[in-house]
């Protein structure tokens, strides 16, 4: 078969849309996956890739649109139904049960039975066959998954997907945990599966992998498929161009020129590391500076903030505050002077707030030591600080004694920020604070960040939204695989530069066309 | 989700303010108490006599003291299963110390409570620092306490009787007609309400119960809060045991066995979520009275023991089904 002629599609999506609350994740997406092809999906954070996969795998149901398998319309009500139809997934987060054996895991969803009992002999044979198909014959089926290194587990994951004899295989960042040797093996396996006529959907952020593997590429942006083309017909820089192209919908306050500080930076990291997830991270944040963390999701930005806040155990390297080395043993230490740090956590519903508790209790929760004497809460003082914060952040609530969970997302986020501002922090770490909140509140937050910086705070701001990094930050550190791969400053912070460094390719580079 | 909760709020704002502020579970519990008294009075008018009611409150006070400690632990989302033998240990040690003359008599109550503090520390360290599930740690320390007491008594009923001070605390009456045990329960209740609503510790307890992660990330010293809660529970269990010894004039093997399920049930019937984070102390008081009345009425009606146990269990399950489960919008 020549690459130019496309066989009739095995799987087809027509006008599929999905909304989560007010956020549209997919908007009339079209996709065709043909048997015997490797189809790569590209797109930046939040482009709709994961929603697309979840719909294909029956994890979520689309709001509208049709899904056709072999030309027949199908509806998957559960992952089991999708699996029965021949669609298997290899996810980035491992779905194996560590305490079970490799063979147990591979046949987990549908073990071979004899007289109602699991047929262990047949199970082992099935597992061996699946492992062989995945090119991982070296893994013993009876080994416990928890004893295998991460890269071997990922191979078991692939074998597990193959055990159900799928017709379409979806790989979501399946190679991100693998060593180079394993990647080569997986590629050989994938190419063989392509020969066997499987339809393969391959999602990866590694451009060179896509260049090596893919037959067809589809670029997603803002929940829509913007382009589908034969692999090798576009250059890296053209692809990045396709991934950009959002309108600027947010208004950012003007950046203030930060005077080069004469004194030591408020916060400085030297060779900060944690296991193999954070490596040799060095940077500093001066008074009045907003430093952004960019890059694809899960490249260590979140861990870096947790490490700075003392949540991670066993970090290496050193952290300096005002030029002197500090040991941050936990949030209880981090929040107190002289550090006076604040962390706006990633998930406000489980990490930032206690949803059933009242607005009042949530607001003063991190500052109880400031409003109490001898452990007894001074209600007048508490009330006063809360009033100040409600006014400062314009928190819209029907009262202070209603559960914070009844507020809108934006106002909930304001409560999280207010509860930390009550402590008057000098170092503010923000973990994607604008996720899932409305545009109006976002703009208020941008203004607030700038005001806090002007008042002398040092701010580290992780965002998955590139516009925010461009609009809000004085400098942006781009992380890739736990390292700072690029530092952008001032006018060099552009969406193009951000995406290029996030993918760890040179934007101007035309050579390695895919 | 926001829509349903708004409806919920607007529906509640139409109610009078004192009802709106109260937890529906607490109201239900008090309603059930009235219902039980009414049913009892149909059987015999004695059920409404002041003597009977005071006697019930006195019996309830032992359970009340134990349940107060249990509530703090349950609010955290944990549980303390070491109640039975920590009570017994507290009672036995208090009586044993009393054997050493006058000094012993004075030290009896503090020693009994310290015993509970020690077991509470053991539980607290296990749960907070060693991260062992509270169900396991407290069950184990219950057995340890049992073993220690069996070694101490040689397996027989201890000979020491409760010192006068302990007996006075349980059965005497500073205010004529009002047993001291009830006053003790009142004092502990007042302290609990203050602790849970007015102190940073109380806020931290509710916070941890709702989301330990959020509390930790807010900079609360979650481990010490958890440990202190278990110490409070241990101390109050032992104190409850000391009071019970005073009431019965002496400590006995397995005297605390009848207090484990009732203390948990009282807390949960009073509207405290077994998953932690929600509940008011007033509800626990209502739960304690409710359970004591239920036990009393069943025994007054001369129902055979087996039937009593069955009715008691069924009533608790029915009430938990009625309102003990977490609302769906959590």
The domain that contains B49 carries what CATH number?
1.10.3470
Tell me A493's DSSP state.
-
What's the maximum distance between 2 C-alpha atoms anywhere in chain B? 68
**Closest by Cα among A241, A295, A351 to A463:** A295
Q: Which of A371-375, A472-476, B306-310, B325-329 has the lowest mean pLDDT?
A: B325-329
Domain formed by A264-340+425-504, architecture: 3-Layer(aba) Sandwich (3.40)
- Is position B330 within any domain? no
Please state which of the ranges A195-204, B51-60, B152-161, B276-285 shows the lowest mean pLDDT.
Answer: B152-161
Which residues of A fall within a CB distance of 8 Å from B7? none
H helices of A364-408, in order, are: 368-371, 379-393
Confidence of residue B16 (pLDDT cuts 50, 70, 90): low
- By C-alpha distance, which of B236, B248, B112, B117 is closest to B170? B248
Give the confidence band of B325 by pLDDT, cuts at 50, 70, 90. Answer: low
Which token pair is A206?
Answer: 């590694």
pLDDT in tens, B177-214: 889 999 999 999 999 999 999 999 999 999 999 999 99
Q: How far is B209 from chain A (nearest CA, A)?
A: 9
Q: Tokens 């591979």 correspond to what residue?
A: A106
Mutate to test the interface with A, among B193, B194, B218, B280 (most CBs of A within 10 A): B218
| Tokens (6 digits) for A321 | 């505050």
Q: How far is CA A126 from the centre of its chain?
A: 34
Dump pLDDT digits (tens) for A364-382.
999 999 999 999 999 999 9
Tokens of A275: 């296991």
Q: B9: pLDDT confidence band, cut at 50, 70 and 90? A: very low
Q: Which candidate from A331, A369, A403 shows the least CB-CB separation from B216?
A: A331
In total, the C-beta contacts within 8 angstroms joining chain A to chain B are: 91
Cβ of A365 and B207 within 8 Å? yes
Q: How far apart are CA B249 and CA B95, in angstroms?
A: 9
- The more confident residue out of A79 and B226 is B226
Mapped onto helix, strand or coil, the DSSP state of residue A203 is: strand
Distance from CA of A298 to the nearest CA of B (A): 20
pLDDT of residue B12: 46
Residue A257's pLDDT is 65
Residues in contact with B43: Cβ distance below 8 Å, sequence separation at least 6, in sequence order: B297, B300, B301
> Is residue B224, in this structure, part of any structural domain at all?
yes
CB contact under 8 A, A336 and B6: no
- How much is the pLDDT for B328? 41
Which residues on B lie below 8 Å from A328 (Cβ)? none
Is the per-residue pLDDT at B216 higher than 90? yes
pTM of the model: 0.80
Q: Look at chain B and report how many structural domains it folds into.
A: 1
Look at phi and psi of residue A503 and say left if phi exceeds 0, alpha if psi is from -120 to 50, else beta. alpha
Pairing of β A376-377 and β A483-489? unpaired
Asked whether residue A103 carries a pLDDT value surpassing 60, the answer given is yes
Taking contacts as CB-CB distances below 8 angstroms, the residues of chain B near A369 are: 200
Residue A514 pLDDT more than 50?
A: no
Range of the domain at B146: 24-324
pLDDT at B210: 94
> What pLDDT is attached to residue A207?
77
Of A224, A188, A187, A191, nearest to A204 (Cα)? Answer: A187
Q: A171 pairs with which residues across the strands?
A: A90, A202
Which pLDDT belongs to residue B229? 97
Q: CB within 8 A of A385, min separation 6: which ones?
A: A364, A367, A370, A371, A422
- Exposure string of A290-329, with b = 16+ CB inside 10 Å and e = fewer, is bbbbbbbebbbbbbbbbbbbbbbeebebebbbeeeebebe
| pLDDT over 90, % of chain A | 37
Using an 8 Å CB-CB cutoff, list chain B residues near A379. Answer: 198
Res A10: pLDDT: 87
Q: Is residue B14 part of a domain?
A: no
- The single-letter DSSP state of residue B126 is I
CB contact under 8 A, B201 and A369: no
Encode pLDDT of A230-275 as tens digits.
888 888 778 877 877 654 455 677 776 666 656 789 999 999 999 8
**SS3 readout for B169-234:** HHHCCCCCCCCHHHHHHHHHHHHHHHHHHHEHHHHHHHHHHHCHHHHHHCCCCHHHHHHHHHHHHH
Q: Looking at residues A152-167, what average pLDDT do you find? A: 87
Contact (CB<8Å) B218/A372: no
pLDDT tens digits, one per residue of A12-42: 889 999 887 666 788 888 898 899 999 999 8
CB-CB neighbors (< 8 A) of B329 in chain A:
405
Locate the chain A residue with the closest alpha carbon to B208. Answer: A354
Instruction: Please give the average per-residue pLDDT across B73-79, as a whole number.
Output: 96
Residue B4 lies in a domain: no
Q: Average pLDDT in the A184-205 region?
A: 88
Cα gap A325→A307, rounded to integer Å: 15
Q: In what order do the strands lie in the sheet with A64-69?
A: A23-33, A11-20, A64-69, A72-73
Q: What chain B residue is nearest to A401 in terms of C-alpha separation?
A: B21
Pairwise CB contact (< 8 Å): B277 & A357? yes
Residue B13 lies in a domain: no
Task: Check CB contact under 8 Å for B220 and A365.
Answer: yes
CATH class of A11-243: alpha beta
The whole-angstrom distance between B316's CA and the closest CA on chain A is: 25
Q: Where are the alpha helices (H) located in A19-149, listed in sequence order?
A: 49-56, 79-84, 102-106, 120-133
A interface toward B at CB cutoff 8 Å? 309, 311, 330-332, 334-336, 343, 345, 350-357, 361, 364-366, 368-369, 372, 375-377, 379, 398, 402-403, 405-406, 408, 419
Q: What is the pLDDT of residues A379-414, one digit of tens each?
A: 999 999 999 999 999 898 888 999 998 888 888 999
Q: Which residues on neighbouring strands pair with residue A267, listed in sequence order?
A: A285, A321
Q: Do A377 and B6 touch (CB under 8 A)?
A: no
Query: Which is higher by pLDDT, A93 or B16?
Result: A93
How many angstroms separate the CA atoms of A386 and A505, rounded? 48
Least confident of A484-498, B12-26, B207-221, B279-293: B12-26
What pLDDT shows up at residue A21?
A: 64
In tens, the pLDDT along A318-354 reads 999 999 999 999 999 999 988 999 999 988 888 999 9
Q: What are phi and psi of A201, to 5 degrees?
A: -110, 120
Q: How many CA atoms lie within 13 A of A145 on its CB side?
A: 21
- CA-based nearest residue in chain A for residue B213: A351
Domain with CATH 3.40.50.300 in chain A: 11-243, 264-340+425-504
> Is A122 within 8 Å of A114 (Cβ atoms)?
yes
Q: Could you give the percent of chain B with pLDDT greater than 70?
A: 91
Beta bridge partners of A72: A69
Which structure tokens are listed for B81? 């299963």
Mean pLDDT of B46-56: 89
Flag whether B8 is in a domain: no
Query: Is B17 domain-assigned?
Result: no
């Amino acid at each position: 078969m020549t690459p130019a002629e496309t066989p009739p599609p095995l799987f087809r999506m027509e006008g599929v849309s999905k909304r989560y609350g007010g956020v549209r994740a997919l908007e009339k997406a079209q996709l065709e996956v043909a048997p015997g092809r490797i189809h790569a999906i590209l797109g930046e954070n939040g482009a709709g890739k994961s929603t697309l996969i979840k719909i294909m795998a029956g994890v979520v149901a689309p709001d509208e649109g049709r899904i056709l398998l072999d030309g027949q319309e199908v509806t998957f009500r559960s992952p089991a139904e999708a699996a029965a139809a021949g669609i298997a997934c290899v996810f980035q987060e491992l779905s194996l049960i560590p305490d079970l054996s490799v063979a147990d895991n591979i046949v987990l969803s549908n073990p071979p039975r004899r007289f109602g009992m699991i047929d262990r002999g047949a199970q082992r044979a099935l597992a061996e066959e699946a492992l062989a198909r995945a090119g991982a014959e070296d893994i013993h089926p009876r080994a416990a998954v928890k004893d295998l290194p991460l890269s071997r587990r990922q191979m078991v994951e692939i074998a597990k997907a193959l055990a159900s004899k799928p017709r379409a295989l979806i790989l979501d960042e399946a190679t991100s945990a693998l060593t180079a040797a394993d990647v080569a093996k997986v590629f050989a396996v994938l190419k063989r599966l392509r020969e066997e006529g499987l339809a393969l959907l391959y999602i990866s952020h590694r451009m060179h992998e896509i260049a090596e593997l893919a037959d067809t590429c589809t670029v997603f942006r803002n929940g829509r498929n913007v382009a589908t083309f034969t692999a090798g017909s576009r250059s890296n820089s053209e692809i990045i161009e396709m991934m950009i192209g959002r309108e600027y919908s947010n208004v950012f306050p003007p950046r203030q020129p930060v005077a080069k500080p004469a004194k030591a930076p408020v916060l400085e990291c030297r060779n900060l590391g944690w296991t193999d997830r954070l490596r040799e991270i060095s940077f500093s944040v001066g008074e009045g500076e907003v430093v952004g963390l960019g890059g694809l999701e899960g490249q260590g930005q979140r861990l870096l903030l947790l490490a700075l806040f003392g949540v991670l155990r066993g970090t290496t390297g050193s952290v300096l505050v005002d030029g002197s080395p500090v040991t941050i043993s936990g949030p209880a230490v981090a929040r107190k002077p002289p550090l006076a740090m604040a962390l706006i956590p990633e998930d406000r519903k489980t990490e930032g707030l206690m949803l059933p508790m009242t607005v009042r209790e949530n607001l003063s929760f991190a500052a109880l030591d400031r409003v109490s004497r001898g452990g007894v809460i001074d209600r007048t003082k508490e009330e006063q600080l809360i009033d100040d914060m409600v006014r400062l952040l314009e928190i819209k609530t029907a009262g202070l004694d209603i559960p914070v969970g009844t507020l809108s997302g934006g106002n909930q986020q304001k409560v999280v920020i207010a509860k930390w501002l009550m402590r008057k922090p000098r170092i503010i770490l923000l973990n994607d604070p604008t996720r899932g909140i409305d545009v109006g509140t976002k703009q208020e937050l941008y203004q607030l960040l700038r005001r806090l910086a002007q008042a002398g705070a040092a701010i580290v701001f992780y965002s998955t939204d590139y516009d925010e990094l461009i609009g809000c930050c004085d400098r942006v550190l781009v992380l890739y695989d736990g390292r700072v791969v690029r530092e952008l400053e001032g006018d060099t912070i552009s969406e193009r530069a951000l995406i290029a460094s996030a993918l760890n390719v040179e934007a101007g580079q035309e050579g390695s066309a895919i | 989700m926001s829509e349903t909760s708004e409806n919920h709020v607007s529906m509640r704002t139409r109610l009078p303010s004192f009802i709106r502020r109260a937890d529906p579970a607490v109201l239900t519990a008090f309603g059930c108490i009235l219902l039980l008294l009414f049913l009892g009075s149909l059987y015999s008018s004695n059920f409404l006599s002041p003597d009977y009611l005071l006697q019930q409150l006195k019996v309830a006070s032992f359970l009340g003291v134990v349940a107060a400690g249990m509530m703090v632990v349950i609010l955290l989302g944990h549980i303390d299963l070491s109640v039975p033998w920590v009570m017994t240990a507290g009672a036995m040690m208090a009586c044993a110390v009393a054997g050493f003359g006058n000094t012993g008599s004075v030290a009896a109550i503090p020693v009994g409570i310290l015993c509970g503090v020690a077991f509470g520390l053991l539980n607290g360290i296990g749960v907070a620092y060693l991260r062992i599930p509270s169900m396991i740690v407290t069950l184990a320390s219950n057995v340890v306490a049992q073993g220690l007491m069996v070694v101490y008594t040689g397996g027989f009923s201890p000979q020491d009787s409760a010192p006068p001070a302990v007996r006075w605390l349980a059965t005497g009456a500073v205010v004529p007609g009002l047993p001291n045990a009830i006053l003790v329960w009142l004092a502990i209740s007042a302290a609990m309400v203050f602790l849970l609503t007015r102190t940073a510790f109380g806020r931290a307890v509710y916070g941890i119960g709702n989301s330990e992660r959020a509390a930790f990330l807010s900079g609360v010293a979650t481990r010490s809060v958890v440990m202190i809660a278990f110490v409070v529970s241990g101390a109050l269990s032992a104190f409850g045991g000391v009071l019970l010894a005073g009431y019965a004039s002496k400590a006995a093997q397995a005297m605390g066995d009848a207090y484990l399920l009732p203390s948990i049930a009282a807390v949960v019937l009073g509207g405290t979520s077994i998953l932690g984070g929600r509940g008011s102390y007033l509800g626990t008081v209502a739960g304690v009275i409710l359970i004591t009345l239920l036990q009393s009425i069943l025994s007054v009606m001369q129902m055979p023991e087996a039937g009593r146990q069955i009715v008691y269990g069924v009533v608790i399950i029915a009430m938990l089904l009625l309102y003990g489960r977490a609302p769906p919008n959590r």
